[in-house]
Structure 1
Amino acid sequence: MDSGSSSEVALEFLPYFRAYKDGRVERFFGTDVVPPSIDSHGGTATKDVQIVQETGLAARIFIPSTIELGQKLPVLVYYHGGGFYMGSPFCATYHNHLASPVAEANIVAVSVAYRLAPEHPVPIGYEDSWVALRWVASHFAGEGSEAWLREHANFQRVFLAGDSMGGNIVHNMAARAGVEGLPGVRLLGICLVHPYFARKETVGTCVADRSWLFSCPTTSGFDDPRINPAEDSRLSRVGCSRVLIFITEKDETRDRGLFYYETLRTSGWGGVVEIVEAKGEEHVFHLFRPNCEKALALLKKLSSFIDQDNA
Structure 2
Amino acid sequence: MDSSNSTEIAHEYPPFFKIYKDGRIERFTGIEIYHNYLNSFVAEANVVAVSVEYRRAPEHPVPIAYDDSWAALKWVASHADGKGPDDWLKNHADFESLFFAGDSAGANIAHHMGLRVGLEGLAGVKLDGIVLVHSYFWGKEPIGGEDTDAEKRRKVEALWRFTCPATSGVDDPYINPGTDPKLGSLGCKRVLICIAEKDIFKDRGWYYSELLGKNGYRGVVEVMEAQGEYHVFHLTNSTCENSVAMLKRIVSFINQGQA
SS in 1 for 2:175: coil
Mapped to 1, the partners of 2:13 and 2:175 lie a distance apart of 21
Q: Is the 8 A contact 1:194 1:257 kept in 2?
A: yes
Give, as a single letter, the amino acid of the residue that structure 1 aligns with 2:195: I
CA RMSD across the alignment:
1.8
Q: CA deviation at 1:23?
A: 2.7
Q: Is the 8 A contact 1:176 1:234 kept in 2?
A: no
Query: Paired residue for 1:112, among 49, 52, 70?
Result: 52
Q: CA deviation at 1:17?
A: 2.0
Counterpart of 2:133 in structure 1 is 193
Counterpart of 1:13 in structure 2 is 14
Output one character per residue of 1:200-244: Cα deviation in whole Å (capped at 9) or x when no partner: 315573454433222111111011111111111221110000000
Counterpart of 2:100 in structure 1 is 160
Q: Calculate the TM-score normalised by the size of structure 1.
A: 0.76
Mapped to 2, the partners of 1:265 and 1:252 lie a distance apart of 23
Matched, 1:294 2:242: yes
Structure 2, unaligned stretches of length 5 or more?
143-149
Counterpart of 1:205 in structure 2 is 152
Give, as a single letter, the amino acid of the residue that structure 2 aligns with 1:13: P
Mapped to 1, the partners of 2:66 and 2:3 lie a distance apart of 35
Q: Is the 8 A contact 1:163 1:194 kept in 2?
A: yes
Q: Percent identity?
A: 56
Q: CA deviation at 1:119?
A: 1.2
Counterpart of 2:26 in structure 1 is 26
Deviates more, 1:202-211 or 1:132-141: 202-211
Give, as a single letter, the amino acid of the residue that structure 2 aligns with 1:293: E
Mapped to 1, the partners of 2:102 and 2:239 lie a distance apart of 19
Counterpart of 1:127 in structure 2 is 67
SS in 1 for 2:152: coil
In structure 2, the CA distance between the partners of 1:253 and 1:209, relative to structure 1 (3 Å rule), is farther
Q: CA deviation at 1:309?
A: 4.3
Matched, 1:217 2:154: no
Counterpart of 2:146 in structure 1 is none
Mapped to 2, the partners of 1:258 and 1:208 lie a distance apart of 19
SS in 2 for 1:297: helix
SS in 1 for 2:51: strand
Output one character per residue of 1:40-74: Cα deviation in whole Å (capped at 9) or x when no partner: xxxxxxxxxxxxxxxxxxxxxxxxxxxxxxxxxxx
Q: Is the 8 A contact 1:204 1:210 kept in 2?
A: no
Matches within 5 A, 1:64-79: none
Q: CA deviation at 1:3?
A: 6.3
Query: Paired residue for 1:249, among 197, 209, 228?
Result: 197
Q: CA deviation at 1:94?
A: 0.6
SS in 2 for 1:282: coil
Counterpart of 1:175 in structure 2 is 115
Mapped to 1, the partners of 2:20 and 2:219 lie a distance apart of 44
Q: Is the 8 A contact 1:198 1:227 kept in 2?
A: yes
Give, as a single letter, the amino acid of the residue that structure 1 aligns with 2:204: R
Matched, 1:98 2:38: yes
Mapped to 2, the partners of 1:113 and 1:120 lie a distance apart of 13
Mapped to 1, the partners of 2:205 and 2:3 lie a distance apart of 42
Mapped to 2, the partners of 1:248 and 1:11 lie a distance apart of 25
Counterpart of 1:150 in structure 2 is 90
Q: How many aligned positions are there?
A: 250
Mapped to 1, the partners of 2:184 and 2:21 lie a distance apart of 39
Mapped to 2, the partners of 1:24 and 1:111 lie a distance apart of 26
Give, as a single letter, the amino acid of the residue that structure 2 aligns with 1:175: L
Report which of the two has the higher share of strand: 1
In structure 2, the CA distance between the partners of 1:127 and 1:3, relative to structure 1 (3 Å rule), is same
Matched, 1:272 2:229: no
Give, as a single letter, the amino acid of the residue that structure 2 aligns with 1:11: E
